[in-house]
Amino acid sequence: MNTTKQEIQSAPFEALDGMTPSELFGNLPTPFYLIDEKMIRRNGRVIHELSRRAGCSVLLAQKAFSNFGVYPALSEYLTGTEASGLFEARLGREEMPRGEVHVFSAAYRDDEFDSIAEYADHIVFNSPRQFKKFAQRAKDAGCSVGLRINPELSTQKEHEIYDPCAPGSRLGTARDVWDREMSDEDISQLDGIHFHTLCEQDSCDLWATLRAVEEKFGDILSLASVKWLNMGGGHHITRRGYDMQTLERCIRYAKEKWNVKIYLEPGEAWALNAGFLGTRILDITENGGIKTAVADASAACHMPDVIEMPYTPPLWGERRNERGGIRYRVAGPTCLAGDIVGDYSFDRELREGDLLLFGDMAIYTTCKNNTFNGMPLPAIYFHREDGSIETLASFSYEDFKCRLGRK
């Protein structure tokens, strides 16, 4: 990987084309999310070209990005959607103009399964127990069925919470469990194999994983009944410096080795650096020499991955050189003491009313936000390629209240 720190910091604001946030979005009420069509299509073209060159099918994992108002702009680049349950499966079927619907869940509910099978084309099971329980029902509904495997090779170097191959992981079937619980009759029903082990990673980690898959499950993939291999998500395909050649090598190797159709299901890659979160400073406090800019957006409510992962999102106007400048902590207005976005350095003093713009906010934001403390949900806008701004959604007190009860 040859991505430089400067590229990582500048890429999230490429869509601004050298203009300031106030010039472009100063009239929008804060806080707001804004999705940029130009960057969505740029990512789509990169992924579509990969699909064409390598001969694979690429899905949108809706768990990372499910703003269906943008689906028409994505539809020409993808094969379909991936869902984690009933509601996402229905969303993909109803709102994506074309394409397949793939579903994986760690466990399926009996009372929802037939509805899932109505929307899905492919259903992946997490365990032999679930496969035995539901596979025939899925096939009767016309679905292709697969089982998720666990190659037991951890490639995560940072975020352990996102490591499906950690010891004791509930995700995927290890080979010893497979040998103990999958009968020849079960295997004869199997159409495909699925693995998902990556999170914001490069293709060298996929290559290592693929070799582990070959070692542990190569004999299963060689069976005539196995028609497809889904390599999951976590591929940072559209990030600057991503090693596309190794990814294509992985795809071609698997296709030729096992004569299977290859699926990828990234989420982040489709909307990477294609969105912003705008917020205004409400107050500036100071304690122990630390100046804190309290904004009207909350890390806990509006960008929960900042706390869960954790990470510090890019902020327009921050000094790229960490030394010097005027230091501020940017935080939300909730009662949670840890509602902190991060510490930043600026060339000038911040003031009440200043517009702050966080980058790379299209992913894991609108699909994960919440109304803790009664925080209003930010409106969602779509910045069109022609410069116009379309309102995708706006929210009110009723959206907060209806989640808690109805009169």
* Closest among 186, 337, 350, 217 to 283, alpha carbons compared: 350
CB atoms within 10 A of CB 217: 22
Say whether both 251 and 296 belong to one domain.
no
Crossing angle, helix 110-119 and helix 128-140, to 10 degrees?
50
Residue 11: per-residue pLDDT: 85
Say whether both 285 and 380 belong to one domain.
yes
Residue 148: per-residue pLDDT: 98
CA–CA separation, 114 and 392 (whole Å):
31
Say whether both 332 and 366 belong to one domain.
yes
Say whether both 180 and 280 belong to one domain.
no
Quote the domain boundaries for residue 242: 37-271
* β-pair partners for 293: 284, 330
CA–CA separation, 66 and 63 (whole Å):
7
Domain count, the chain: 2
* β-pair partners for 356: 279
Residue 179 lies in a domain: yes
Query: pLDDT 10s per residue in the chain (407 long)?
Result: 333 333 334 589 999 999 999 999 999 999 999 999 999 999 999 999 999 999 999 999 999 999 999 999 999 999 999 999 999 999 999 999 989 999 999 999 999 999 999 999 999 999 999 999 999 999 999 999 999 999 999 998 777 888 999 999 999 999 999 999 999 999 999 999 999 999 999 999 999 999 999 999 999 999 999 999 999 999 999 999 999 999 999 999 999 999 999 999 999 999 999 999 999 999 999 999 999 999 999 999 999 999 999 999 999 999 866 667 999 999 999 999 999 999 999 999 999 999 999 999 999 999 999 999 999 999 999 999 999 999 999 999 999 999 999 87
Is there a contact between 198 and 230 (Cβ–Cβ < 8 Å)? no
The residues, ordered by sequence, that sit 6+ positions from 166 with a Cβ below 8 Å of its Cβ are: 154, 156, 160
Say whether both 230 and 305 belong to one domain.
no
The residues, ordered by sequence, that sit 6+ positions from 294 with a Cβ below 8 Å of its Cβ are: 281, 282, 283, 284, 285, 331, 332, 333
Dmax over CA atoms of the chain, in Å, equals 69
Say whether both 210 and 284 belong to one domain.
no
Domain's final residue, options 271, 287, 319: 271
Residue 367 lies in a domain: yes
Residue 47 lies in a domain: yes
User: Is residue 256 packed enough to be buried (19+ CB in 10 Å), middle (13-18) or exposed (0-12)?
Assistant: exposed
Strands 275-287 vs 228-230: parallel, antiparallel or unpaired: unpaired
Residue 198 lies in a domain: yes
Measured CA to CA in angstroms, residue 137 lies from 116, 130, 187, 365 at distances of 11, 11, 16, 35
Residue 53 lies in a domain: yes
Residue 407 lies in a domain: no
3-state class of 149 per DSSP?
strand
* Closest among 316, 250, 382, 224 to 21, alpha carbons compared: 316
CA–CA separation, 326 and 291 (whole Å):
9
Say whether both 324 and 345 belong to one domain.
yes
Tokens 């009767």 belong to residue: 140
* Closest among 139, 97, 141, 135 to 119, alpha carbons compared: 141
* β-pair partners for 329: 292, 343
Residue 190: per-residue pLDDT: 97
Task: Determine if the pTM surpasses 0.75.
Answer: yes
Residue 10: per-residue pLDDT: 55
Say whether both 113 and 242 belong to one domain.
yes
Say whether both 20 and 120 belong to one domain.
no
Say whether both 250 and 105 belong to one domain.
yes
Say whether both 82 and 190 belong to one domain.
yes
Sequential DSSP letters for 9-62: HHGGGGGGTT--HHHHHTTSPSSEEEEEHHHHHHHHHHHHHHHHHHT-EEEEET
CATH number of residue 317's parent domain: 2.40.37.10
CATH number of residue 241's parent domain: 3.20.20.10
CA–CA separation, 60 and 368 (whole Å):
17
Residue 321: per-residue pLDDT: 64
Residue 54 lies in a domain: yes
Domain's final residue, options 237, 253, 271: 271
Residue 10 lies in a domain: yes
CA–CA separation, 375 and 356 (whole Å):
18
Sequential DSSP letters for 300-341: HHH-THHHHTT----BTT--SSSSSSEEEEEE-SSS-TT-EE
Is there a contact between 205 and 242 (Cβ–Cβ < 8 Å)? no
The residues, ordered by sequence, that sit 6+ positions from 307 with a Cβ below 8 Å of its Cβ are: 299, 300, 338, 339
Tokens 């706006």 belong to residue: 394
CB atoms within 10 A of CB 394: 14
CA–CA separation, 275 and 381 (whole Å):
10
Domain's final residue, options 237, 252, 271: 271
Residue 156: per-residue pLDDT: 84
Say whether both 225 and 282 belong to one domain.
no
Half-sphere CA count of 212, side-chain side, radius 13 A: 20
